[in-house]
Chain A
Amino acid sequence: MSTCPQHIVDYMHEYLDGDITREHEQQLKKHLQDCSTCTQHMHELSNTVAFVKSAAHITAPPHFEREVMKRLPKRKNSVGIQNWFRRHPIIVAAAVFLLFMSASLVGSYQNNEFSVTKQPNLLVEGQTVIVPEGEVVKGDIVVRNGDLIIEGKVEGNVTVINGQYMASSAVVTGEIEEIDEMFEWLWYELKTIGNNFVGLFQ
């Protein structure tokens, strides 16, 4: 064996791997015919391979699949929620719509700027709006973040948001509303949108 070149053993392994070239195979065969030590080596290697290959086929225990499924991390019911969404598209759409609506309304509520409906002959002093005595305002008045004092006459609705309405001898032909709470205000906004919407068809 010590006299044989190392590449002969390499050829044996190439042969066993099934990727030996034709020249190498011929050299190997030629060498094996003359060398009993290498023939013995080749024989032992083939037996080794046959020995390992005779290993019995092993199968997983019967409960294996169930055990794996038990060990999987739980998926927070995402399938259930998805299915619910799929089954109730209108509710989902309505919920999304309301969410955006209220978000934009609340957003505008937090805007604390003073504002008043533009009408001629209204007197504005700081954050107080005055309808002077003897004057007649034709149309609605909306005051945001400010007070309203009416000493004259208003031919229309009066709305005060986040402020006080003061009237001594006032004459208001329409409705008078004072809004302080967020939800009341929301309700008012929705009503306005609703009225405008209905108005479109009239």
Chain B
Amino acid sequence: MIEREILELDVLFVGAGPASLAGAIHLQRLLRKSGQDASVGVLEKAGEVGAHSLSGAIVDPRALKELFPDKSVQDFPFEAEVSEEHLYYLTESRKIPFPFVPPSMSHHGCYVASLGKLTRWLGEACEKDGVDIFCGFAGTELIYDGDQIIGVRTGDRGIDKKGTKKQHFEPGADIHAKVVVLGEGTRGSLTKNFLHKHSLMKERNPQVWAVGVKELWQMPAGTVQPGFVAHTMGFPLGHDVFGGAFLYGMKNDIWDLGLVVGLDYKNPGVDSHHELQRLKTHPWIRSLLEGGKMVAYGAKSLPEGGWYSIPKLSVSGAMLIGDSAGFMNGQRLKGIHLAMKSGMLAAETISEAITENNFIETKLRDYEDRVKSSWIRDELWKVRNFHQGFDHGLIGGLTNAGIGLLTGGRGWGFKDRLTSIAGHLRMEKGMKKDRYKDLQFDGNYLFDKVTDVYHSATTHEEDQVPHLHVNEPDICITKCVEEYGNPCKNFCPADVYEMVPDGDNQRLQINFSNCVHCKTCDIMDPYQIIDWVPPEGGDGPVWINL
């Protein structure tokens, strides 16, 4: 019987994303400079750094330049500088350019990038700096000593689908750390419980989310301009579903095509994967993708709530950074630079905490002050009511955003703070319009969900307890069927949830092996009975450059 491993570290970052990696690099430097010796580790549930990273993305190089002042922009692993940018309103067949791109939405001076590539690059820099990155380990529980968080427990490995221990069963390890920094990304699983247990969202707006689904298309040589950027509104989402499409030109003739769909729509039939396929029926998109081949697919949720949805950022022994804290600029569609900066600011507080040997809340709270006096706040304050305006549809949202540009972010021009409700509460009961009755999948250009999932290269140990916990499965076949028509099969972009015949009835089948770890189900389930927990370490997508 293998015993539980115990590892002692000084600082543990959970999640090897841009926030944690930037934080770890910055922290190592600060520790070296102050002559301190401290062990820093990063926990990552994917088998390798970058495998679970997905974004558009357009990156504001600001944080990278601060982190690597000696490097030039050419050294960063970007695809290309944004060379041209377009903003379009699409109808089913037409494309109408916006007369101008508001400066705050301009991507001038930013770079098209693959988050996976960037994360891998940061990971290498991190390891060179002596930080240990533990891949294939999922953090499943925070460890407490009274009120103080003193570490993270990782998941058990080697349990079969009935819950019995297999021959090579290994209990999860306990990693003790003076500070645990939660950089799990969007809708982190440890973070979700952490926010609840410590009431960190008190007096805040509930977080609102969106899901991004994307496909990478390999095009013939010379047909894609790296650095090309286009964003669209209108078709296929229309005015009642928040979101829009993005099209970025990457290196090696790859088109990066995606759709962001707000997870606060009313129609339970909305299916972000299907919307992406509908987007491709637009003649302009079709003409661009002609002659190409879809090579990768992925999806991930993102926090859209903005400044007022950011929780209290620390308790004794733990802090929140990056998307786990909700540092995303919905209007600029950028969050990576904010994530990195938050990691760096956290590092500054931690370095001091180590010097003072003080890790209780009153000390770690300094991080929040740092954030409030940094450019993170400057940037997010101006767009603090951005998403909330869209509660009134597309025109309302644009109007609110437009006025916000003139009033420094006030809601409708005068309200300091617009409130909102959690997105899943907006879903309306009863039969709704079928948005996809004309959608036909041909397998070459428009793909059904199962085919797209195949291209997300996601695998899971088959013989394990499904990591999607549906806490009251009876609801699925009774209330939910009637009230919402089982929206899980629609909002999951990976075909995880399926209602299958079971004699005369139906039952919910969970194809957990398809899961791409986007967390949409945890967010959007109208009854909030789905709990996403990490599967066995190493499982999940194997994204290379998404």
Chain A partners chain B: no
Binding site for B on A (CB under 8 A): none
Binding site for A on B (CB under 8 A): none
